[in-house]
Structure 1
Amino acid sequence: MSGEMLEEKQRAAAWFRQLRDEIVAAFEGLEDSHAAGPMSDAPAARFEVTETKRSSDDGSDAGGGLMSVMRGGRVFEKVGVNVSEVYGSLGAAAQQAMAARGVPGMESDPRFWASGISLVAHMQNPHCPAVHMNTRMFWTPGAWWFGGGSDLNPCLEYDEDTAHFHATQKAHLDPHDEALYPALKAWADEYFYVPHRNRARGVGGIFMDDRNTGDWEADFALTQDIGRAFLPAYVPLVEKRRVQDWNEADKDAQLVHRGLYAEYNLVYDRGTKFGLATGHDANAVLMSLPPLAKWT
């Protein structure tokens, strides 16, 4: 497949927006339904939605997206669900990085298009795990690919929660190829690792990048199922844990773990680096950072 791929780009961007709408509705539903347990008497929060714009060197239209952030709720202390569709020409540093990754034609043609959804949730209750999810499509004149996944980041770990999260991912991947789940799980274990701490960021999940089998429809269908797996993998964990009492030691453990999360996102995360290097709205790119964190 070659050319501008206008129809495929439109379908991918529309899907990411649809998934965003479903997740926003589900998370606001969790706020509304929290009727017992810690913080259940607080007001239910709602997402604040802001349009974002990508800046270009010549002032031309370079795309943008929606940044949706909910703060200070009954269940969510801070959660962001962003969608974007950006395009134009990569700057020299980003172009060189893409060329170094072996993207065909990037040495001579810096044009690109990218769309995706990115989500990070930081919870009020330390028993509720933080979570990250993203899926995306990237296009250049010489190539296209999909990427993304989701991973669970509890500060207080429960083996049954980890098992449920992974089993749901596997159930959504197996119809495509039973070899996918173990491969993408291993990729997540490698990618979401914090070398300077000699430990994983959380309890893992699935991750892929540069997905191009030559069959765009098949790769898009896989990307959609990675997105569809998110709510059934995560929402039951929140519903189960949000009613548990916590103490000061639990909250302290949560803040320390958030420091680890912030370190990873600022030092290693490829999406953070790409977003800042290509001129996307910095607040949207750094939406993943927790509202409060602690270092010992």
Structure 2
Amino acid sequence: MSSESPAPDSVVEQRKQRAEAWFTELRDRLCGEFERIEDELVGINAARLAYTPAGRFQYTPWQRDDSSVADPGGGLMAVMHGRVFEKVGVNVSTVAGHFSENFAQEIPGTEATSGFWACGLSLVAHPRSPHVPPAHMNTRHIVTGKHWFGGGADLNPIVAHEPDTRDFHAALKETCDTHGDDYYDRYAAWADDYFYNKHRGEPRGIGGIFYDYLDSGDWEADFAFTRDVGLTFLDIFPRLVRRHMFTPWTEKERAYQLFRRGRYTEFNLVYDRGTRFGLQTGGNPDAVLMSLPPLASWP
């Protein structure tokens, strides 16, 4: 992690506000698009879900309890249970406080201070149809004695569709190539390594990109890349959902979907950085564990 010269406090505060405003705007745009998809479901899948109304997001605010700072922050959970999405959450949180002594040793920029500020958006979608791929996307900005961006997006199909894999990676590659010649190769490889259930010896899905500690020395460029990751996901994932949401599914496919959700759950509880960060910093457990599917199974 490289770093530009320390910015004045006023500039740091302006950057925090801009990052938080963007994550909030992106959440609203994602939620709006997912609700539009809920209204579009027709045909056989709509008939089998005749008593399931089109979903709408329910918003639940939460506050962080930390007397060590004047404003410890909190977040807003946005969760929807619907016809297309059995569960989808798009949460934004803005928190501040101090790391525990042990956890601070794992975080850059805590040599002189244990204080932190963090804001980010976390999205996890668990579609009802096994043919619609589950997906995850997260982008965040963190400030300690240093500052950086992180995030990424990955796809976790139940029923493999090669065109989905191709189009999802192509969209991410185009975005990465706009910002750095080596971004896609680095961040796609990082995703393959990160989104991997080591205890199972198997990947969580078909990958995507993952990046962390992004501080190129140009805050504006790093922020622009992070915004574009979110916008790329906003474009490509709804297209994949609409591609498959009218396809009928079998009970055998549904059973396999619940099995794969079990594998997804294992990753998020054992390896996921966001889960660990949220729990270690006193986040709302319901918001931190929003990523877990509504139903899953194990053999």
SS state at 2:105 partner: helix
Instruction: Identify unmatched segments of 5+ residues in structure 2.
Output: none
Write the distance in 1 (CA, Å) between the matches of 2:68 and 2:116: 16
Work out the number of aligned pairs and report it: 289
Q: TM-score of the superposition, structure 2-length normalised?
A: 0.94
Equivalent residue, structure 1, for 2:127: 123
State the percentage of identical aligned residues. Answer: 50
Q: Report what 1:35 is aligned to.
A: 42
Aligned position for 1:219 = 222
CA-to-aligned-CA distance 1:161-199 (integer Å, 9 cap, x gap): 111111111122211123211211111001101101101
Summarize deviations over 1:67-118 as a string: whole Å, max 9, x none: 00001x11000000000111121222321222xxxx23x1331111000100
Q: Distance in 2 between matches of 1:159 and 1:35?
A: 25
Asked whether the equivalents of residues 90 and 110 of structure 1 are also in contact (C-alpha less than 8 Å), the reply is: yes
Q: Is the 8 A contact 1:147 1:209 kept in 2?
A: yes
Q: Is the 8 A contact 2:269 2:275 kept in 1?
A: yes
Which residue of 13, 19, 25 maps to 1:18? 25
Counterpart AA for 1:193: Y
TM-aligned CA deviation for residue 231 of structure 1: 1.8
Which residue of structure 2 lines up, in the alignment, with residue 80 of structure 1?
Answer: 89
Residues 114-170 of structure 1: per-residue CA shift (max 9 Å, x gap): 001000000110100100000000001x20000000000011111111111111111
Q: Distance in 2 between matches of 1:154 and 1:179?
A: 26
Question: Deviation at 1:58?
Answer: 4.6
Paired position in structure 2 for 1:90: 99
> 2 CA distance for matches of 1:191 and 1:111?
27
1:20-43 Cα offsets, whole Å, 9 max, x none, are 000000000000111223135431
Task: Provide the residue aligned with 1:178 in structure 2.
Answer: 181
TM-score, normalised with respect to structure 1:
0.95
CA distance in 2, matches of 1:107, 1:67: 32
TM-superposed deviation, 1:289: 0.3
CA RMSD of aligned residues (A): 1.3
Q: For the residues of structure 2 that align with 1:94 and 1:237, how far apart are their CA atoms?
A: 38
Q: Which amino acid aligns with 2:117?
A: W
After superposition, give the CA deviation of every residue in 1:222-272 in whole Å (9 maximum; x if it has no partner). 111111110222111110111111111100110000000000000000110
Contact 1:37 1:242 in 2 (8 A): no
The whole-number CA distance in structure 2 between the counterparts of 1:14 and 1:117 is: 11
- 2:208 equivalent to 1:205: yes
Residue identity matched to 1:17: T
Shift of 1:65: 1.2
Gaps in structure 1 of 5+ consecutive residues = none
